[in-house]
Structure 1
């Protein structure tokens, strides 16, 4: 049942922070600021050196089952290319797995351990394959290759597909994606770029709050 609850929580939260950094310590700081600002779904990409260490640190501090709101967050892993990486991340505490492409072996492993998996897809064929493999949420990636109207196009033949665009989602278009039918959205560089440039990580918390407000406004 935990898998179903985590998927529901991701849909309810609506905004996923996709975090990349040069060190595990930096990405942990980014995650803490994003959570402070209200983004409660955190994706640590495997491109971060020491990513598993960062996931362990965050999973020890936050949890999707935490009763204390300050400790509530869903920590996951991104840029997963193979089942070996997925399993390592799950053992480190990851509560969901995201990949840039559809890897059937990774999906099967995540299903085996009842962990939500969100593979990247670009075509109707890939999305159909993902659904047949038991994927609950499909990552539309790269999102900047499409307009929000792509959601409606996908849901024509596949109304049962839950779509999460990632890449190219910004404050200016988040509402369009949600109103078009996106289950959730992934936010990457736009959330952290200014903080990295200035060294002021509190900017992430401020931007996170703006994204959360934009999501709530779009849902309302």
Structure 2
């Protein structure tokens, strides 16, 4: 399936961003999420040992996970992400990485917020638009953007909790991207059982 079809099917993109910890902790976090039914996942390149995490998660989970790399900013980042198992890239904004990924036929979820940025992302070849940071905008913002961009797949990211996830999806988002409201402190060595419970709550919310 395409990136858009995957996101539309899963409706939840888990964002793993671990700081200053062993890669094995982030890998265990990814495995716990997939075990609970989370299929789409982004490993941020701003994480500690991000490329190791990407490679190990890809090896451990194979086609059980739709694995992307986040915070992909440069052409070199694209090459490194793909070499270590990523199948799509995610950016926080319009970045030089986009043209490299497009030239290589790699799906792109591009960060943007304003209508001008959305149009720029689409013109650059992005497959979908990551609305970031969306925490201060609210679900209605997706509905407003869909008026001038009716066929654009939007993925709101930034402080999206369970209740907000339902609202964004109801107002036309194809999926939601969630970091700390889902991950908590798991990627930094926190409670994996609590992570599993949060994953079940999110999946229940987005699958309604």
Q: Shift of the alpha carbon at 1:34?
A: 1.1
Aligned counterparts of 1:126 and 1:20: Cα–Cα separation in 2: 25
Aligned counterparts of 1:115 and 1:163: Cα–Cα separation in 2: 18
Normalising by structure 1, report the TM-score: 0.88
Q: Is 1:81 paired with 2:78?
A: no
Match of 1:69 in 2: none
Q: Secondary structure at the residue paired with 2:109?
A: strand
Contact 1:194/1:203 (CA < 8 Å) preserved in 2?
Answer: no
Match of 1:28 in 2: 27
Contact 1:141/1:166 (CA < 8 Å) preserved in 2?
Answer: yes
Q: Secondary structure at the residue paired with 2:172?
A: coil
Matched length? 206
Match of 1:189 in 2: 180
Contact 1:144/1:168 (CA < 8 Å) preserved in 2?
Answer: yes
Aligned counterparts of 2:43 and 2:189: Cα–Cα separation in 1: 21
Deviations along 1:179-210, one digit per CA (max 9) or x if unpaired, are 00001100110112254688321221221111
Q: Shift of the alpha carbon at 1:145?
A: 2.5
Q: Is 1:95 paired with 2:87?
A: yes
Contact 1:37/1:207 (CA < 8 Å) preserved in 2?
Answer: no
Spell out the pairing of 1:1-220 with structure 2 (5 A cutoff). Answer: 5-22=2-19, 23=21, 24-63=23-62, 66=63, 72-103=64-95, 105-193=96-184, 195=186, 199-217=190-208
Aligned counterparts of 2:189 and 2:45: Cα–Cα separation in 1: 24
Aligned counterparts of 1:19 and 1:155: Cα–Cα separation in 2: 28
Aligned counterparts of 1:198 and 1:117: Cα–Cα separation in 2: 30
Normalising by structure 2, report the TM-score: 0.93
**Cα RMSD (Å):** 1.6
Change in CA separation of 1:6 and 1:156 when aligned onto 2, cut-off 3 Å: closer
Aligned counterparts of 2:91 and 2:124: Cα–Cα separation in 1: 14
Contact 1:62/1:74 (CA < 8 Å) preserved in 2?
Answer: no
Aligned counterparts of 2:98 and 2:189: Cα–Cα separation in 1: 38
Give the gaps of 5 or more residues in structure 1: 67-71
